[in-house]
Structure 1
Amino acid sequence: MTRPEVTGARRVVVKVGSSSLTTAAGGIDPERLQALVDAVATAKKAGVEVVLVSSGAIAAGLAPLGLRKRPKALAAQQAAASVGQGLLVAQYTAALAAHGITAGQVLLTVDDVTRRSHYRNAHQTFTKLLELGVLPVVNENDTVATQEIRFGDNDRLAALVAHLVHADLLVLLSDVDGLYDGNPADEGTSLISDVRGDADLDGVAIGSTGSAGVGTGGMVTKVEAARIATGAGIPVVLTSAPQAALALSGERVGTLFHATGRRRPTRLLWLRHATDAKGAVHLDAGAVRAVLGRRASLLAAGVTGATGGFHAGDPIDLVGPDGAVVGRGIVNFDAKEIPKLAGRSSAELADALGMEYGREVVHRDDLVLV
C-alpha cells in the first residue's frame, strides 16, 4: 500500500546531502548521482514538478584542490565551493539532459530566505522555471557566504524552499534509510515509520554528522527541517538516497513525518525559522499577557527597554520580565529610539513626537510566538 501523501503530491522538493553524492575521497560519485537523477526524472515524467536541493559543492571541490577532508577555514571552504559547484552542476545538467530535462541552477544566500523582497524575487524565479518545465537545482551560494557557510546543511534551506515554491511534499535523502529509535548500528533498534508529532520523538536519540566527514549536518538538522515543513502543512519523507525512486513512487520506505500545521504566511515562517535576532525589546507583564493571550501587537506602553543595536525592519526577540523569549517580530523603530518610547501610550507619543511614533513597536502581523 502506497502513501497517499506522496502519490498525491504534484510539486516535490528533494534534498540530497553531500555524503550521498560523493566518494570517500571527496569527489562526485557518478553512479550515485545518476541513480538520483534517474529517480527524479521518473517522477517528473509522471507529471510531478521537482525541485532538487543538492549539497555537494564543497565536497566535490576537495579532490581537485588536493584537500583530503573538508577544511575548517571559511576561505578554503569558499574556494572548494567555487571549484566544486561547477563540477556538480555540469554532471546534473548532463545526466538530466539524457532524460530530455533542462536543469536550471539556483544559488541562494541566507538573505534570499530571510529578506522579504529577496524571498519574493526567489519565488518568482522558481515559478517561471517550473512553468517552463525546468528542473531547478538549488544550493546555498557558498562561494560568497560571509557568515557561517552552511544553512543547516541545506536541510533547513530545503524546508524553506518547499514552503517558498508551495510544495506538496519534501523528501530528505541521506546515508541513513530513515529515523531510528536509537543508533542504527546497534542491535535491537527499529526504524520509525511514521512521526505524527513531537510526542513520537520522545526518548529518541538523534545523532549528528556521520563518519564520512564531507557533510555538516546529521539527523538533528533533518528532524529540524521536518518540523519546519510539517508545521507549515508539508509532509516529509526521510530516507536514504538509494531508496529515492521508491520514496518518490509512494512506497512505504523511510520515515514519514505527517503534516502538523497549516500553510502560513511566508514572512512568519522565515521569521520563526530563518532569522537571527538583532537584539531584544523587553516587555512588562501586561504586554506579555496581551501578546501571548490576545495575540495583540506590541505597543510602546508595554515596553520597558531594549538591548542590541538593531534598526527598524530588523528581526528582534520579545523578552518578558523573567528573561524568557516569548516571541520574535519585525521592529518598527531603531534601538536608540526605544528609551524615549518605553512606557508611553500611543496617543501621548503621537502628540509629543508625531504620528509616526504612535504606531506599534511590533505589529501582530509581523510577530510569531515562540
Structure 2
Amino acid sequence: MNFCYKKITVKVGSNVLTKSDGTLNVARISHLVDQIAFLHKHGVEVILVSSGAVAAGRSELKLQKKLDTVSSRQLCSAVGQVLLINRYADFFREHGIVCAQVLTTKDNFADRDHYLNMKNCITTLLENNVVPVVNENDTISVSELMFTDNDELSGLMASMQNSEALIILSNVEGIYDGDPSLPTSSIIEEISPKEKDWMKNVSTQKSGFGRGGMLTKSSIARKVAKGGIAVHIASGLKDHVLTDILRTDRHVKHTLFTADGRKSSNVKKWIAYSDSFAKGELVINQGARDALYSDTASSLLLIGVVMVKGIFEKGDIVKIADESGKLIGWGKAQFDSEKAQAEAGTKNQKPVVHYDYLYLIEE
C-alpha cells in the first residue's frame, strides 16, 4: 500500500476526543488508535499530540468548591492524564504496540539544550517502535508559560522531528472561505506558501473544550509549512480520515497547506517557535527592514539598528521591530544588550542577528 508520507505528527483536539457532555469519547479514541496502528505496521512513524486530559479529568471530578482557572486546569489535568493515557495504552496494546506518555511545558523549549534533549527523547522512542503520546503538562504550567494550545505544541513537535507532514484533526473539515455556518461558504482545499488573502476569512471563534480555534490552527499551519512541512487540517470525526489522507489512492475533502520548497534548518525551526522567550528588542530602520525582506538572504547588521530595548545576553532570543513598532521577526543575538547599544548604527560587519538564527514574519 502506498502512503504519501513516512513520518508524520498527528494532533487530535479535545472536541474530537470528548462527547458533548465533556466525557471521553472512548469509541473515537479507539478508532484513532486503529488508524495509527495501521500506519505504524506499514512503516509510517507517528508522533501523536493529544488533547483531552483536562476534559477527561473534569468529567471525572465533582468539585467541592470553585477554583481559579489555573488551579482547575492543574487538578483536572492531573486526574485526566491518567485516564487518557490508560485508554491509549489499552487500545495500542490490542495491536501489539507500546505507547509512551511524554509530558512537556513551553519552558522546556526555551533553552536549546533542553530542546535537543526533548528531540533525543522522541527520536529514541521512535527508533524503538514506541508511539509517543505528547501533551502539555498542565499540572505544572501557569498561564504565561502555557502553549497557545496543543496546535502550537504539535507544530513545534513536527518541526523538531522533521516530520514530512503535520495532520491536525479537529471537529471541522478544514478552513472555509467565509463563515462556516453559512451555506455559501466552502472549504479551501489547498493554500500555497505565496497566498496571503485567505486568512481574512478565518473564523476567530474558539473551540468548545479546547483553548484554541481555527485562527490559531491557521497561524501554526502557515509557520510549519514555511519550514518545509505540509500541514493538513481535517475532521477527526470522520471515520478513516487519517489513513485516507495518507493513501495516494484516496481523496479527503480538507485543507492542505503545501510545504515551502525551501526546508529550514533545525536551528531555524527552533528559532521560529522562540518568540515568547525573547529577552529584549532591536528596533531597526527602513533600510535594514528592506534588506531582511529582500530576495537575498540577509543578516541583521548593527548599522540598521536604531534602538536597543531591554537587557539580554549573547545567545538570548530578541525581537526585531521596525520604527513604527511593528514586530517583523526574532532571532538569536550575537552581542549582549550593552554592546549592541554601544555599537548600534555603526559599520561593525559582524551581524547582531545572523541569517541562520533569524525568523521573519510574512509581510
**Same topology, TM > 0.5:** yes
Q: Structure 1 residues 338, 153: CA separation in 2 closer, same or farther (over 3 Å shift)?
A: same
Q: Structure 1 residues 189, 113: CA separation in 2 closer, same or farther (over 3 Å shift)?
A: same
Q: Structure 1 residues 130, 289: CA separation in 2 closer, same or farther (over 3 Å shift)?
A: same
CA drift of 1:181 comes to 2.1
Q: How many residues align?
A: 352
Q: Structure 1 residues 148, 58: CA separation in 2 closer, same or farther (over 3 Å shift)?
A: farther
Q: State the Cα deviation string for residues 253-274 of structure 1 (Å, max 9, x = none).
A: 2222222343211222232334
Q: From 186, 193, 199, give the equivalent of 1:190.
A: 186
Aligned AA (1:102): V
Aligned AA (2:271): L
Which one has a bigger Cα radius of gyration?
Answer: 1
Query: What's 1:220 paired with?
Result: 215
Q: From 146, 170, 177, give the equivalent of 1:181.
A: 177
Residues 162 and 170 in structure 1, CA contact (< 8 A), matched pair in contact too:
yes
Query: What's 1:361 paired with?
Result: 352
CA drift of 1:329 comes to 1.5
CA drift of 1:281 comes to 1.7
User: Percentage identity across aligned positions?
Assistant: 37
Residues 206 and 219 in structure 1, CA contact (< 8 A), matched pair in contact too:
yes
Residues 306 and 339 in structure 1, CA contact (< 8 A), matched pair in contact too:
yes
Pair 1:165 & 2:167 matched: no
Q: Structure 1: any 5+ residue segments left out of the alignment?
A: 347-357
Residues 235 and 241 in structure 2, CA contact (< 8 A), matched pair in contact too:
no
Q: Structure 1 residues 345, 169: CA separation in 2 closer, same or farther (over 3 Å shift)?
A: closer
Q: From 192, 203, 226, give the equivalent of 1:206.
A: 203
**Range moving further from structure 2, 147-156 or 89-98:** 147-156
Q: Structure 1 residues 320, 295: CA separation in 2 closer, same or farther (over 3 Å shift)?
A: farther
Aligned AA (2:88): Y
| TM-score of the aligned structures, taking structure 1 as reference length | 0.85
**Distance in structure 2 (CA, Å) of the matches to 1:199 and 1:286:** 24
Pair 1:252 & 2:274 matched: no
Residues 93 and 102 in structure 1, CA contact (< 8 A), matched pair in contact too:
yes
Residues 114 and 275 in structure 1, CA contact (< 8 A), matched pair in contact too:
no
1:1-370 matches, within 5 Å, as: 7-66=3-62, 73-148=69-144, 150-197=146-193, 198-199=195-196, 201=198, 204-210=201-207, 212=208, 214-243=209-238, 245-249=240-244, 250=247, 251-253=250-252, 254-276=254-276, 277-288=278-289, 290-293=291-294, 295-346=297-348, 360-370=351-361
RMSD: 2.7
Q: Structure 1 residues 39, 208: CA separation in 2 closer, same or farther (over 3 Å shift)?
A: same
Aligned AA (2:310): G
Q: Structure 2: any 5+ residue segments left out of the alignment?
A: none
Aligned AA (2:357): D
**Distance in structure 1 (CA, Å) of the matches to 2:124 and 2:117:** 11
Residues 114 and 270 in structure 1, CA contact (< 8 A), matched pair in contact too:
no
Give SS of 2:173's match.
coil
Give SS of 2:48's match.
strand
Residues 10 and 49 in structure 1, CA contact (< 8 A), matched pair in contact too:
yes
CA drift of 1:108 comes to 2.0
Residues 39 and 244 in structure 1, CA contact (< 8 A), matched pair in contact too:
no
Residues 123 and 164 in structure 1, CA contact (< 8 A), matched pair in contact too:
yes
Residues 35 and 242 in structure 2, CA contact (< 8 A), matched pair in contact too:
no
Aligned AA (2:306): T
**Distance in structure 1 (CA, Å) of the matches to 2:291 and 2:184:** 49
CA drift of 1:180 comes to 2.1
**Distance in structure 2 (CA, Å) of the matches to 1:224 and 1:209:** 14
**Distance in structure 2 (CA, Å) of the matches to 1:285 and 1:236:** 33
CA drift of 1:71 comes to 7.1
Give SS of 2:308's match.
strand
**Distance in structure 2 (CA, Å) of the matches to 1:178 and 1:299:** 41
**Distance in structure 2 (CA, Å) of the matches to 1:190 and 1:288:** 37
Q: Structure 1 residues 199, 74: CA separation in 2 closer, same or farther (over 3 Å shift)?
A: same
Q: Structure 1 residues 290, 237: CA separation in 2 closer, same or farther (over 3 Å shift)?
A: closer
**Distance in structure 2 (CA, Å) of the matches to 1:26 and 1:246:** 23
Aligned AA (2:161): V
Residues 40 and 245 in structure 1, CA contact (< 8 A), matched pair in contact too:
no
Q: Structure 1 residues 280, 53: CA separation in 2 closer, same or farther (over 3 Å shift)?
A: same
Q: Structure 1 residues 333, 102: CA separation in 2 closer, same or farther (over 3 Å shift)?
A: same
CA drift of 1:179 comes to 2.1
Q: Structure 1 residues 279, 89: CA separation in 2 closer, same or farther (over 3 Å shift)?
A: same
